[in-house]
Amino acid sequence: MRLATWNVNSIRTRVTRTVDFAVREDIDVLAMQEVKCKPEQFPYEPFEEAGYHVEVHGLNQWNGVAIASRLPVTDVETAFTGMPGFAKDASTGSATHGPDAPLEARALGATIDGVKIWSLYVPNGRSLHDPHLQYKLHWLEALRQHAAGELQKNPELPLALVGDFNIIPFDHDNGDPDIVEGRSTHVSPEERAAFFALGNAGLTDVVRPLIPEGFTYWDYQRLKFPRNEGIRIDFVLGSKALADAVSGAAIHRDERKGVQPSDHVPVVVDLALGADDDDDDLPMIFS
């Protein structure tokens, strides 16, 4: 299976680019974030003509996640266990987050060829003093608990958490001089701790051992892309069973070029599902 994740930043604007990429790179499963549309607004036809079935979870013109697959899709879910919602009162500015707040379209799960795949768009956090940051941390902790619970029930489950995590785990993942610890989200100790806690749930970044450098996002402003002032915030996190099946990975930087690109680029992994444990061709993955 060739699995890709891509924050497309509006699928209706970038459907041609997205489908062309999927076909050209022979992608079997494409997890998308920020599709920014309701299911009835999604441009299904180009995907279907290219041989893909699409599952979509979107509630309005914000957020939204989708999975396009050439393989059969089952067990579709639009929220993980314990996933909190978020609400902000426009008149007072007060915000609430938790199980009683409205859920946003930030998670879509499905089982494909035995792999449980979640397309995830982690909350941004907005600023260090915004209630959205606490929502983000709560959301990530709920995700950690869900993943840990799933792997406790089935330690051999190939589980993939993929998407835009809106966290820069290490300093070398940050090439943007405007993002500074103490002034910016994405690099705060609390956010990084929440990201690393996913490792305690049994998940590992399966791309880093094969592609140790390279950014996945460049802001549209201030010539960030030509200056390569990017950040790495898009990931494929996998359980041990999934990590053991990884046979290749790529970050497609060139997709940030051209007409109307997304500000993110695709991250791709190849999975040798069902391969013999003694297959010497598989890379060693260190978690």
CA 267 to chain centre: 9
Which tens digits make up the pLDDT trace of 138-171?
Answer: 999 999 999 999 999 999 999 999 999 999 999 9
Provide the CATH number for the domain around residue 264: 3.60.10.10
What token pair was written down for 180? 């500074």
Write the CB contacts of 39 (distance below 8 Å, at least 6 apart in sequence).
Answer: 56, 57, 58
Q: Would you call 244 helix, strand, or coil by DSSP?
A: coil
- Look-up of token digits 């993943």: 147
The answer to whether position 32 is within a domain reads yes
The answer to whether position 16 is within a domain reads yes
The answer to whether position 34 is within a domain reads yes
In this structure, what DSSP letter does residue 197 have?
A: H
The answer to whether position 280 is within a domain reads no
Which tens digits make up the pLDDT trace of 232-282?
Answer: 999 999 999 999 999 999 999 999 999 999 999 999 999 998 755 444 444
Q: Considering Cα of 236, then 237, then 242, then 247, what sign does the dihedral take?
A: positive
- Residue 72 is predicted with a pLDDT of 98
Taking the C-alpha atoms of residue 84 and residue 97, their distance in angstroms, rounded to an integer, is 6
Closest residue by Cα to residue 21 from 267, 217, 231: 267
The answer to whether position 282 is within a domain reads no
The letter for the amino acid at 19 is: V
Regarding pTM above 0.85, the answer is yes
108 and 59 Cβ atoms separated by less than 8 Å: no
E strand spans, 113-158: 115-121
Taking the C-alpha atoms of residue 39 and residue 42, their distance in angstroms, rounded to an integer, is 5
The answer to whether position 105 is within a domain reads yes
How many domains does the chain fold into?
1
Per the structure, the complete domain to which residue 221 belongs is given by: 2-271
Task: Work out whether strand 115-121 and strand 159-164 pair parallel, antiparallel, or are unpaired.
Answer: parallel
